[in-house]
Structure 1
Amino acid sequence: MRSEEERTMSRPFEGVSVVEIAGWTFVPAAGAILADLGADVVKVEPPTGDPQRLLRNLLNQDDSGPNPFLEIPNHGKRSVTLDLTTPAGREVLLRLVADADVFLTSYLPALRARLGIDVDDLRAVNPRLVYVRGSGWGSRGPMVNTGGYDSAAAWCSSGTLHKLTGAGDDEPVAQPAAFYDLQGSNTIAGAVAMALYRRERTGETAVVDVSLLNTGMWALGADIAAAPFSGEVPRADRRAPGNPIANYYRTKDGRWINLVCLQADRFWDELCLVLDRPELVADPRFLDAAARFTHNRACVEVLDGIFAERTLDEWRETLAGFSGVWAPALTPAEVHDHVQVRENGYLSELTAEDGTPFRVVAPPYQFDGEPARARSRAPELGADTAEVLRGLGLDAATVDDYRAQGAFG
């Protein structure tokens, strides 16, 4: 069992100070990752709070327990409320930034300029500051001041929605909640590590830009790179791939199993035996990958019939010894019970304000075999203002003076 000291040493951002002025999920989730990995993240919010706090929780059936829309991007932080439209509020922010290592923001350029929190403004008090901008569309071009949630800037604009919507679909495929926000936040966290590494080695700091559009394009990189040479590829017929054993099959109880046997000839004979259909090995339509490609619809139809004969639990038992890659399509609730999730510590345990236990997903990094664990739930709005100001060395009289000047809203 590792000691607390050893676990602390496994947090690579221990001792790193982060100031965050960002809303919604994309950039704040990067702050949560840094916090899970040891950073002290101070979330500076306007007196009305991050608008994410007001986002209705559609992922729970009622209003009890934690709100995942708030917890995922904001756990592990401290919250300070500042009215940056006042000179006093901005002065307190500059005090915070003066000793920080990293500044995270999702604010658009026009708003940053209006509030006096752009690169040059903050570097004037801290030349070593790593300044990180998360945006929808990038830091240049005519859309720099256009907002962009991930469903618009990444899911739609990268080609992902077009790619995933099948030829016969009546409606577009719905994006999972905050899907590209969370991919982008992971990218930001990695970029912060690179910037801090460069600063440590060379003394040079950095302005880091990560956009949702670029994040979505990176995820669809192979299709985008091939597009000028392949032309306008028809949208996928997901039920008739060229390799029938890299496909999805419905079970008797309406669940789905994904076969991922990319080396088709290597696994076909074994699969036929596991499925108790040895006669398919000698079927001239399916003798090799080329034949199965030619007769892919017939092959899929045969496999559809076979998988429809048993329930998912029965197939789990039948396929347990199969050497090819396969997996059932799990529900989000079932992910909590996956043996690999449990054994590798991919979920962190927290407790909501009302005492309800809940879990958040750990960042996809581990150091020295130790999972990155969430240390606290998302803070209440402004809950840490007094503590953070004391940490800046401000006495009660100074804080009262700032309050009288409207610094805290």
Structure 2
Amino acid sequence: MTGVRIVELAQFTFVPASGAVLADWGADVIKIEHAETGDAQRGLVSILGMDQDRESSSFFPIMEGPNRGKRSIGLNLETPGGRAVFEDLVRSADVFVTNFREPTRKKLRVDVDDVRSINPQVIYMRGTGMGPKGDEGPSGGYDQTAFWARSGHAEAVTPAEHDRLLSMPTGAYGDNIGGMTIAGGIAAALFRRASTGETSVIDVSLLGVGMWTASFGINAALLTGGPLPHHRPSQHGSPRNPLSGSPYRTSDGRWINLGMLQPGRYWPEICERLGRAELITDERFATGDQIIANAAVAAGYVAEMIGALTLAEFRKRMEGARGQWAVVQNFFEAGNDPQARANGYVAKVVDADGADRELVVAPVQFDETPPVITRAPQFAEHTDEILRELGRDDNELLQLKIDGAVT
């Protein structure tokens, strides 16, 4: 994406996350922030009950993740000088992205027609909560509402006997999925423009991303003509496969998730490796169909086998196994996973204080090379640099600041 300029007028994580992905891929992403308050997400000090603030530090993951690699300009679009700078930025842009609601876009004169009147060839991307059409089109939305609640995720993962709905597993869960989706849409639009000369208006909503993510369940419900039943999960495995489904627990309290979708194929390997070779020839499990018919009994044996081993012992027994399995990890373990590290899924970044930090990078790699990333900008950090690129001299910079047009 080297040579591609993205101008971003957006806040929080949905939509800004796409800029982080595009920056990972080499694009020049200029983040427009309100001249006084900046991105509203800079003011969030707690999310999902976790304190985001760290004393004597400029590094806040809630901002760094979706804004790494960008440049920031503080701009007041409601001043003549700020408007002139905005129009210069749009003229220089390949893509304009925003998640401002329609009423705000119209008020600030940054809607499709406004931006296209400045640069007819710009690709215009708008991220919304509920999609641009319908009665709720002008309404806003966050991932916990439009993505998690509205599209069926929360209901699907909450056991029927629970007296409250389960929350998203982490902050910005749907936002980050949406950001990757937007980045793919922008890449496709750039390809279309390069191939045909035609530009695009791109729409991505949190509701649409949520429905796509949950499409297996939604499609099944539409086919059956009603809500899907809530089945109480098996204690171990699934009702028809002891080698896939609910996890098994080791003797030291770790969970193992088996993902062996062909029980007849992998049953002999499991029994051999875990020390119960006699079960291979047991008539109850002699064929795949028999294993399926006796899945609950077979799952009991698997629970005994795994429950007799520590995680380290299980790992040793399963070295080189054909069947798929994974240990259930927490976020800290995931961030330090040797396989993730070997593939460059976590990258080093130097924060504004000069301290070494780490961030998860976009999951797409080109030519087997992980992206090299830089930190997120401080508020309005690059205002002067960007203005000089646009041809403003020092006197003009000073006047813009006196007028309150830039920060």
> 393, 399, 402: which one pairs with 1:401?
399
For 2:161 and 2:279, locate their aligned partners in 1 and report how far apart those are by CA, in whole Å: 29
SS at the partner of 2:202?
strand
TM-score of the superposed pair, with normalisation by structure 2 = 0.92
Matched, 1:38 2:38: no
For 1:273 and 1:166, locate their aligned partners in 2 and report how far apart those are by CA, in whole Å: 35
Question: Structure 1 residues 85 and 357, CA, compared in 2 at 3 Å: closer, same or farther?
Answer: same
Find the counterpart in structure 1 of residue 326 from structure 2. 327
Matched, 1:118 2:107: no
Deviations 1:314-371 (A, max 9, x none): 2111111321011111222122332322222111111223343221111111112211
Matched, 1:187 2:186: no
For 2:143 and 2:293, locate their aligned partners in 1 and report how far apart those are by CA, in whole Å: 39
SS at the partner of 1:358?
strand
Q: Which amino acid is 1:379 matched to?
A: P
* Equivalence map 1:50-61=2 (5 Å): 50-57=39-46
Find the counterpart in structure 1 of residue 229 from structure 2. 234
* Equivalence map 1:2-401=2 (5 Å): 13-46=1-34, 47-57=36-46, 63-64=54-55, 65=57, 66-175=59-168, 176-230=170-224, 231-239=226-234, 241=238, 242-247=240-245, 248-374=247-373, 376-401=374-399
RMSD: 1.9
> What is the Cα deviation at residue 377 of structure 1?
0.8
Q: Which amino acid is 1:41 matched to?
A: V
> What is the Cα deviation at residue 268 of structure 1?
0.9
Question: Structure 1 residues 256 and 171, CA, compared in 2 at 3 Å: closer, same or farther?
Answer: farther
> What is the Cα deviation at residue 221 of structure 1?
1.3
Percent identity over the alignment is 42
> What is the Cα deviation at residue 55 of structure 1?
1.3
Question: Structure 1 residues 37 and 87, CA, compared in 2 at 3 Å: closer, same or farther?
Answer: same
> What is the Cα deviation at residue 61 of structure 1?
8.2
Identify unmatched segments of 5+ residues in structure 2.
none
Q: Which amino acid is 2:253 matched to?
A: G
Verify the 8 A CA contact 1:57 1:69 in the aligned structure 2. no
For 1:217 and 1:290, locate their aligned partners in 2 and report how far apart those are by CA, in whole Å: 35
Question: Structure 1 residues 317 and 353, CA, compared in 2 at 3 Å: closer, same or farther?
Answer: same
How many residues are paired up? 396
Q: Which amino acid is 2:371 matched to?
A: A
Verify the 8 A CA contact 1:27 1:188 in the aligned structure 2. yes
For 2:354 and 2:385, locate their aligned partners in 1 and report how far apart those are by CA, in whole Å: 24
TM-score of the superposed pair, with normalisation by structure 1 = 0.92
For 2:346 and 2:46, locate their aligned partners in 1 and report how far apart those are by CA, in whole Å: 20
Deviations 1:283-309 (A, max 9, x none): 444333433333333333332232222
> What is the Cα deviation at residue 171 of structure 1?
4.0
Verify the 8 A CA contact 2:52 2:62 in the aligned structure 1. no
SS at the partner of 1:348?
strand
